[in-house]
Chains A and B, each alone.
Chain A
Amino acid sequence: MKYLMFVCTDTEPETDESQVPDIEKWVADNDAAGRRVDGDRLAPPTAATTVRVRGGQLLLSDGPFAETKEVIVGYDVLECADLDEAIEVARAHPMAWNGRIELRPFFSA
């Protein structure tokens, strides 16, 4: 199954820095295992532009579509057998410790 991993910040990160896994190792491990299809970090939400069309008219606004304390800072596309495997991949990502990660299955997995 294919999962999109939203990598987000969190207002209450892990305080014990020594426990947090290494991102380079995470990427290398999951690339090698063929579980990470794609992924990248994103520019800050201040660089975001939100696009809507209403009544045929283009409406643009500056910033993300939802103003929240937690912001999406990156994403990864995972190819995993099931949710349990995806959870194991997500928990080993440093941002599961320093932030939070949302696992969302693709509609046509």
Chain B
Amino acid sequence: MADARVAVAEAVADSHGRIVAALIRITGDWDLAEDCAQEAVTVALERWPSDGVPANPGGWLMTVARNRALDVLRRATIERRKLADLAVLTDPSPGPAPASDDRLRLIFTCCHPALSLEARVALTLRTVAGVPTADIARAFLVTESTMTRRLTRAKAKIAQAGIPYRVPSGSALAERLPGVLAVLYLLFTRGYDSDGEPAFATEAIRLARLLAALMPGEPEVSALLALFLLQHSRRDARRDADGNLLTLDRQDRARWDHDAIAEALRILPDADGPYALQARIAACHTAEATDWPRVAALYDRLAEVVPSPVVRLNRAVAHGYAHSPADGLRLLAAARAGGALDDYPLAVAAEADLTARAGDREGAVALFERAAALAPSYAERRALLTRAEDLSREDD
């Protein structure tokens, strides 16, 4: 019984997106596609415990979902062509897929820029990854009915506005790909944040892996996957036994996922896109001793590509370690000019750290306490207060 449940969960994780994507392509009906995929899961949960798990679980689910869709459409007497296409729809075969892969179409449609960012993220989770609406709602701190409405509205917009079910080509692809990657990135950080939904990080990695397999010629896609793998490799080492967040230098490296790191370093492209630069910086932090001048140089380039206040903040920190705390403080002041980082807890924490290393313990304690007061999660607050307490103790 338990084995059958696990088999169903694995088959769903592996094939849900493929099934829904194929059914949408042929029927053009998002709700029908999702309902049929869901019904196939229900049937599997009924039958597999007694009948045994089929040899090709994904293919089995596809067949049941397809037959269900055929039934519904026959009853609704939909055009003959759709029925004919559906009748020849066969088992999804895992492995390398062409650019016309249905899942790729589904991802690009779910991430269409004519949808709001929150709708894109929710729709990708629900439709491509098959995450239950209730789980998505919990992660985004809204009620299930609000999330259901958000998903319904997004699907209605796709149909009414004429958003095509297609992977863009040529210059349109270059224009649209960053938007898709941004959705995956948001998904990952939502899973990786200290108070987040951890399963979303795994889901983001799964989707990035799929995208990397479907678009092997895009360095930014493999860079994003590498970035996820590198950050995720530290998931078990980020906290001490009491659940307190640990900075990189205090983590037990034996608890890092070294297989994930090896995979990331293998696929990391030597490119200058925003994700490639971030992944290359993350890779520097896996070394026994961080090459800070190299990190600082990579941040210099990242700040040119993505001149955001947060990137400039991190650049200041890197220069603080690569050269001198005074350099870091000078760049931090420049990044804060115009008030972009006002009350941003990480900016205050960075200033506190640089101030401590510049020798001003008293000033640093006050800044760590201020950063703690601004921190969004309990774990982060604790980590910052610990730094303040450690510094005060050194004072005595």
Binding site for B on A (CB under 8 A): 1, 3, 80-84, 86-87, 103, 105, 109
Contact = CB atoms under 8 A, between A and B. Distances in A.
Given A82-B164, A83-B164, A103-B161, 16 more contacts: A1-B162, A3-B162, A80-B162, A82-B162, A83-B114, A83-B162, A83-B163, A84-B163, A84-B164, A84-B168, A84-B172, A86-B162, A105-B160, A105-B161, A105-B162, A109-B162
Contacts of A3: 162
A3 B162 CA distance: 10
A82 B114 CA distance: 12
A3 B160 CA distance: 11
B25 to A, nearest CB: 14
Interface string B130-161: 00000000000000000000000000000011
Contacts of B162: 1, 3, 80, 82-83, 86, 105, 109
A30 B395 CA distance: 74
A84 B172 CA distance: 9
A67 B163 CA distance: 31
Nearest to B165: A82
A80 B161 CA distance: 11
Nearest to B163: A83
13 contacts: A1-B162, A80-B162, A82-B164, A83-B114, A83-B162, A83-B163, A83-B164, A84-B166, A84-B172, A87-B114, A103-B161, A105-B161, A105-B162
Interface string B19-47: 00000000000000000000000000000
Which label, helix, strand, loop or mixed, suits the secondary structure of the B interface?
Answer: loop
Contacts of A80: 162
Contacts, number: 25
Nearest to A1: B162
Contacts of B168: 84
Closest 9 A/B residue pairs (Cβ): A82-B164, A1-B162, A82-B162, A83-B162, A83-B163, A83-B161, A105-B161, A84-B164, A105-B160
Contacts of B160: 105
A87 B160 CA distance: 15
Contacts of B112: 83
A82 B164 CA distance: 6
Contacts of B161: 83, 103, 105
B28 to A, nearest CB: 12
A48 B345 CA distance: 51
Contacts of B172: 84
A87 B168 CA distance: 13
Interface in B170-229: 172
Contacts of A1: 162
Nearest to B158: A83
A70 B280 CA distance: 45
A106 B149 CA distance: 23
A58 to B, nearest CB: 33
Nearest to A3: B162
Nearest to B176: A84
Interface in B89-112: 112
B4 to A, nearest CB: 42
Contacts of B163: 82-84
Contacts of B166: 84
A105 B162 CA distance: 8
A105 B172 CA distance: 21
Nearest to A80: B162
A46 to B, nearest CB: 32
B102 to A, nearest CB: 18
Contacts of A84: 163-164, 166, 168, 172
Contacts of B164: 81-84
A88 B136 CA distance: 33
Nearest to B113: A87
A106 B164 CA distance: 16
B160 to A, nearest CB: 6
A43 B162 CA distance: 31
Contacts of B114: 83, 87
A82 B161 CA distance: 8
A109 B159 CA distance: 11
A102 B372 CA distance: 44
